[in-house]
Structure 1
Amino acid sequence: MSFQQIIPSIKRELWENEKSILWLPTAIAGLMFLVTVSSWLLVPSFKVVGINSGSAGIDLSLFFTGMLFVALLFIAIWVQWHYFVSCLHDDRRDKSIFFWRSLPVSDALTVAIKLFVGAIIIPGAAILISMVFSLVLALIVVVSAIFGFDASVDFEWAKILKEFTYLAYTLLNFLLYTLWIFPVYAWLMLASAFAKKAPSAWVILPVIILLMIEAFAVDYLGIGSRFLFESIKDYFSFEVGQGESSMLHLSILQNTKLDTLPNLLLAKINLIPTLLGCGFMYLTYWLRVNRSQE
């Protein structure tokens, strides 16, 4: 295995999914950018970067950066779902697996590349696009303030730097988030490798059936406990206050210190779920090798 095999494999995945990975988030970011700049020019109540305590209006740069990041985050999650549940299933459905297998790339590398693209490249592209458009808006604001193109512009360098500190800090959170969600990614890929039809159904139905069996055993037969339900709930929930939990995402992203989210994510990264994810990945590889011709 060498970069001569890895790089073309990544390029292949990007080429096959270019519209959803690159062009869709870029189009959404561009549209939001145009709406934000138009609002700045047409709506007097918008205030640009660094509102002083005595001034009224909306901090345009912070507003744009936050809304853009949240929008692209949800777009990335949607693209990831679609990519993971189809990445191995589609190769078997359209028989393209035979062509790709004729190339000097092992099944293990193919599975690893698909995991890398889905877990790292897709959300990483969304973060990068968010940073680029936020930087462009910040540069427009700075130029407007320095050259006096808009007298209403009131910016503070400290706030601009703080914005990009938060954006850069998302890279650390992103890596921790990837480790936390790794078992989910592996489960999605296993469903994609196993399903002959409707891989999305194979993602959801086994979990629902197991939860229903567990509920029936506990509620009607008095056997055992809701171990599976509680395990899933605990893994995907966060303590956001005293005795309060949330199936988080946005609630803890607001008004938190820089070290809050990494600490919460670190607390969720456990050995057993990670080993479970590794088991799912091995089964995915086994299915790719032994059942790809079915």
Structure 2
Amino acid sequence: MSISPMNKMQWLIRRELWEHKGMLLWTPAIIGMVMTVLGSLMMVATIAKTKMRTAMTVNGNEVSWNAVFSTRSFGPRRMEIIDTVANNYLVTAAPLFLALGFLVFFYCLSALHDDRRDRSVLFWKSLPVSDAQTVLSKVAIALLVAPLIVAAAASLTSLLLVLILSGVLAANGIHVFAELLASPGLYLGPLGVFGLLPVYFLWALPTVGWLLMVSSWARSKVFLWAVGVPLLLLVLTVWVGKLTQTESDLGWIQMNVIGRALLGTLPGGWYLFEPELQQQMHAAKNMNVFANSWSSLALPAVWLGAAAGAALIYAAIRLRSWREEG
């Protein structure tokens, strides 16, 4: 009985998750749990410390922060604070998003090299699975599955921290739970994170392609080849720019070619590569990361990089089929 290509891809992805569950599953889960515990302790300590202080003194009477926050005159300001928390609470998950960049980087770096190093490539080549399917399953893990896992962990961790904060405030006489649940930002935040995954896919594609090609080609010292070659090119472009007085002309190459070869897996890295996006973000009165990030797809650099990434992935497939070990 023949197996359809879709079923083969599903089994290959399951294999990758099983072999790298420590990196892809447990690492985000542990980071999320540590963030939740530390964040909870910091909240309790901060609220307890603030409760001991007086907000102001009126006619010789000390007024606590709890009383100020609960007054009717503070109502508009209270709702403004609650909306700000609801709209930006996912910022607390920044360590998880940063971890995603490193997870994808090192996963791609070892994805094809480890198969050759432990000779398991001979076993997988004996199965009715093509080199293209094997490499594309690793691309799917790096650009689809891993970001989905981290996005889910980040959303859950941030939501838990907000709920714990509401509980701590309620225990100290400040009840914001109802208003928080009524705020649309509480529900739109996670949707925005998942909605940015296609943007991440396109911006990270050159780095993933470069790392997989090096992983498929290098016999040893994979990290040195993957990082050393771009850094050497960076030094050469800086040297040529100094000699020819063309630093500004070579700046685009340094950021969009060399920089994206190493830093493309970092979420939000498009703000590093395109100064125009930084200017738009600073010029906007209300920073909308979602809309600003999607607007980056209008830039030619993202599509040129995606095409280069696809070409590098094709090279990785060909190299895997040509490379002989032992």
TM-score when scaled to structure 1? Answer: 0.80
1:118 has 2:149 as partner: no
Contact kept in structure 1, 2:97 and 2:154, CA below 8 Å: no
SS in 1 for 2:184: helix
Q: What SS is found at the alignment partner of 1:239?
A: helix
Does the Cα contact within 8 Å between 2:202 and 2:303 map onto a contact in 1?
no
Pick the aligned partner of 1:17 from 17, 20, 27.
20
Cα pair 1:77 1:123 within 8 Å, conserved: no
Deviations 1:156-186 (A, max 9, x none): 2466430331221122222112112211110
Counterpart Cα distance in 1 of 2:124 and 2:214: 21
User: Does residue 66 of structure 1 match 2:91?
Assistant: yes
Identity of aligned residues (%): 23
Query: 1:222-257 CA deviation, whole Å, 9 max, x = no partner?
Result: 498775542342572332555x99xxxxx8999512
Matched, 1:88 2:112: yes
Q: Which amino acid aligns with 2:101?
A: I
Q: Does 1:237 align with 2:274?
A: yes
Structure 2 counterpart of 1:288, one-letter code? R
CA distance in 2, matches of 1:127, 1:74: 11
Of the structure 1 ranges 124-133 and 204-213, higher mean CA displacement relative to structure 2 is found in 204-213
Question: Which structure shows the bigger proportion of residues in helix conformation?
Answer: 2
| Structure 1 segment 99-138 matched on structure 2, within 5 A | 99-137=123-161
RMSD (Å) for aligned C-alpha atoms: 3.7
Query: Cα distance, 1:131 vs. partner?
Result: 1.7
Shift of 1:279: 1.5
Aligned CA distance change for structure 1 residues 57 and 276 (closer, same or farther; 3 Å): closer
Where do 1:122-271 residues align within 5 Å?
122-137=146-161, 151-155=173-177, 156-157=179-180, 160-220=183-243, 222=244, 229-233=251-255, 236-240=273-277, 256-257=287-288, 258-267=290-299, 270-271=302-303
Matches for 1:45-64 after TM superposition, within 5 Å: 45=50, 54=77
TM-score scaled by length of structure 2: 0.73
> Per-residue CA shift, 1:237-284, capped at 9, x if unaligned?
332555x99xxxxx8999512422221354365443222212111111
Distance, in Å, in 2 between the alignment partners of 1:134 and 1:225 is 42
CA distance in structure 1 between the partners assigned to 2:168 and 2:245 by the alignment: 69
Map of 1:248 onto structure 2? none
1:256 partner letter: M
Kept in 2, the 8 Å contact 1:138–1:160? The answer is no
SS of corresponding position for 1:104:
coil
* Structure (1 or 2) with the larger CA radius of gyration: 2
1:280 paired with 2:312, answer yes
Find the aligned partners of 1:185 and 1:19 in 2 and give their Cα distance.
20
**Cα distance change of structure 1 residues 214 and 159 upon mapping to structure 2, 3 Å threshold:** same
Q: Structure 1 residues 43 and 270, CA, compared in 2 at 3 Å: closer, same or farther?
A: closer
Note the C-alpha offset of 1:32: 1.4
The structural deviation recorded for 1:96 is 1.1
Q: Which runs of 5+ in 1 are unaligned?
A: 246-250
Letter matched to residue 184 of structure 2: L
SS in 2 for 1:259: helix
Alignment CA distance shift 1:34-1:53 (3 Å) = farther
Give me the whole-angstrom Cα distance separating, in 2, the residues matched to 1:42 and 1:223.
Answer: 56
Q: 1:6 aligns with which of 5, 9, 16?
A: 9
Partners of 1:160 and 1:141 in 2: how far apart?
A: 15
Gaps of 5+ in 2: 52-64, 66-73, 258-272
Using the TM superposition, give the Cα deviation of residue 94 of structure 1 relative to its aligned residue in structure 2, in angstroms.
1.1
CA offset at residue 43 of structure 1? 3.4
